[in-house]
Amino acid sequence: MKKMLFLILASALVLSACSAKTDGDVAEPEDHSMDGMAMGHDHHEPDLNHSTGENELKLPPILKSDKETEDEIHYTVDAQKGQTEIFDGYQTDTLGYNSSFLGPVLKVKKGQTVHINTKNSLDEDTTFHWHGLVIAGAADGGPHSVIKPGESKEITFKVDQGAATLWFHPHPLGNTAEQVFNGLAGLFYIEDDEADQLDLPNEYGKNDFPLIIQDKTFDEEKQLNFTEVKDEDGMMGDTLLVNGTVNPSLTIGKEKVRLRLLNGSNMRNYVFKLSNDQAFTQIASDGGLLNEPIELKELQLTPSERAEIVVDFSKLQDTDQLALLTGEDTVVLPFNVKEERTGGDNVNIPKQMNSIAVTDEEKSMKVTKEIVLDGMAEDVTINGKKLDIDRIDFTQKKGEVEVWEIYNKPDEMGGMIHPFHIHGTQFKVISINDELPPENLRGYKDTVSLDSGDRVKLAVRFDEPGIFMYHCHILEHEDNGMMGQVKVE
Ligand code: C2O
Ligand code: CU
Ligand code: CU
């Protein structure tokens, strides 16, 4: 009886702490009294510090190609260790690509053949995974494609998808969370002629900015100590970094500005909004431009999801105190709005940007792949199983659409959000709990967020052969085996 009561109590607590959408309307202010309490699993959700705005946002450099022609581009991407001054006067041990922390932006054009010399200068195994790219399994950089310390490998692929903001990160078996936490993450931009014709802000660092959003915990010496903060349900930090900048602010002109948001966190979900509660416009999701611009006041991003938004700073009121917030009122990024414009001419967001649709045929197709996400912490599974790297869980024919149904099974503790990701494809969301997805989820996606109890149908097609991973993108869940493999032939 006592046990029953405890279970009920515990599930109520966990429900409110873990599975409640972090929506502005639903979420209660985070409650610190929960920290360290026995909640059936030892999950900690520390409050995030507000950004004081004292540091101008750093921008990742655009990587210089080794060689480029119309049709081909060559890059070198080197995973390395280093030290970074994140906090004034402190050197933090970090990892990065071609730098000590995070990585550069790789830009490629649709139609180009890309050669990347991937190099491991770490003293541990790593892989180079191109998250969101439609690419053959052999070049996708999943856990099969280990590169040993000191070794390198060239991969080649042809870009055959539209303009999008993708990213890359390591994917070594059981060790992804720590390497990403320590700084391995970079951006991968695809450009195409059609998107270039559209009247969207596209001057990098002027009216077009990436925002890589990550929460970290630093120890007293300002070091990242993963084993110290490790949480089997996903590390949540108290310190927000945007593009690796602590306490960032962004100076922009009174004009339309494009922000490319990436939730690069291990497990934290964010609900972004503007501090004056005005609307902004979402123009792209994970896999590229939406059909039409969508006006929003709030936008949720779970780990690995991206969204591109345009904020019209010429139309905003109270720009003195303007900031990007998450949750109730945590300041992520204060804006410093200048009178003069820094970017291009007047931008007019087109009404029609893309044409993505779930076809009637896809709507009438039967579910042929069922995926059940279950559990928490060490007990996470997919279809009751943990990853076995020697087991192929599903097969699918190249170029053929199948309907995958993903179900996030609630458990006696309430359950939690799992962001579900598939490699090597951009899928379409057919339905969420039998309803049409919200408009901003009707573009291409490679990760879809499922609340506890949610059932989501996806139209999935692979255009390249190979073995692809699908998994929960809470990195610790992935490391704990919440991952499976589909073989495409
Ligand atoms: Cu972001 Cu398996 O990937
Ligand atoms: Cu991926
Ligand atoms: Cu998960």
Per-residue pLDDT, averaged over 426-439, amounts to: 98
Give 167 Cα–ligand 2 centroid separation in angstroms.
Answer: 9
Per-residue pLDDT, averaged over 166-180, amounts to: 98
Rounded CA-CA distance 456/450 in Å is: 8
Per-residue pLDDT, averaged over 244-268, amounts to: 97
pLDDT in tens, 447-486: 999 999 999 999 999 999 999 999 999 999 999 999 999 9
Confidence check: pLDDT of 5 > 80: no
Give 355 Cα–ligand 1 centroid separation in angstroms.
Answer: 26
pLDDT in tens, 345-371: 678 999 999 999 999 999 999 999 999
CB of 469 sitting under 6 A from ligand 1: yes
SS3 state at 158: strand
Rounded CA-CA distance 327/27 in Å is: 7
CB of 306 sitting under 6 A from ligand 1: no
pLDDT in tens, 59-68: 999 999 999 9
Atom number, ligand 1, closest to the C-alpha of residue 167: 1
In percent, how much of the chain has pLDDT > 90? 85
Domains and their CATH numbers in the chain: 2-53+204-338 (2.60.40.420), 56-196 (2.60.40.420), 360-488 (2.60.40.420)
pLDDT at residue 240, rounded to an integer = 98
| Cα–Cα–Cα angle for 387, 393, 399, rounded to 5 degrees | 125
Atom number, ligand 1, closest to the C-alpha of residue 423: 2
Rounded CA-CA distance 373/173 in Å is: 19
Greater model confidence, 341 or 88: 88
Computed from CA positions of residues 164, 170, 172, 176, in that sequence, does the dihedral angle turn out positive or negative?
negative
Q: What order do you get walking across the sheet with 299-301 strand by strand?
A: 55-56, 248-253, 330-338, 323-326, 270-274, 299-301
Band of the pLDDT at 319, cuts 50, 70, 90? confident
Give ion ligand 2 contacts, CB < 5 A. 131, 423
Confidence check: pLDDT of 249 > 70: yes
pLDDT at residue 318, rounded to an integer = 74
Confidence check: pLDDT of 176 > 90: yes
pLDDT at residue 42, rounded to an integer = 52
Confidence check: pLDDT of 241 > 80: yes
pLDDT at residue 149, rounded to an integer = 98
Per-residue pLDDT, averaged over 274-301, amounts to: 97
The pTM score is 0.91
pLDDT at residue 316, rounded to an integer = 82
Atom number, ligand 1, closest to the C-alpha of residue 129: 3
Residue 278's φ and ψ, nearest 5 degrees, are -80, 165
Confidence check: pLDDT of 9 > 70: no
Query: Is the CB of residue 282 less than 8 Å from the CB of residue 312?
Result: no
Confidence check: pLDDT of 79 > 70: yes
pLDDT at residue 344, rounded to an integer = 66
Q: Which two tokens stand for residue 44?
A: 């900690």
Query: Is the CB of residue 35 less than 8 Å from the CB of residue 44?
Result: yes
Give 26 Cα–ligand 1 centroid separation in angstroms.
Answer: 29
Rounded CA-CA distance 469/336 in Å is: 42
Q: Which two tokens stand for residue 387?
A: 């990853």
Per-residue pLDDT, averaged over 103-123, amounts to: 98
Task: Provide the Cα torsion 474, 478, 482, 483; round to 10°.
Answer: 120
Q: Which two tokens stand for residue 146?
A: 């280990």
Rounded CA-CA distance 233/478 in Å is: 10
Band of the pLDDT at 3, cuts 50, 70, 90? very low
| Cα–Cα–Cα angle for 358, 363, 366, rounded to 5 degrees | 135
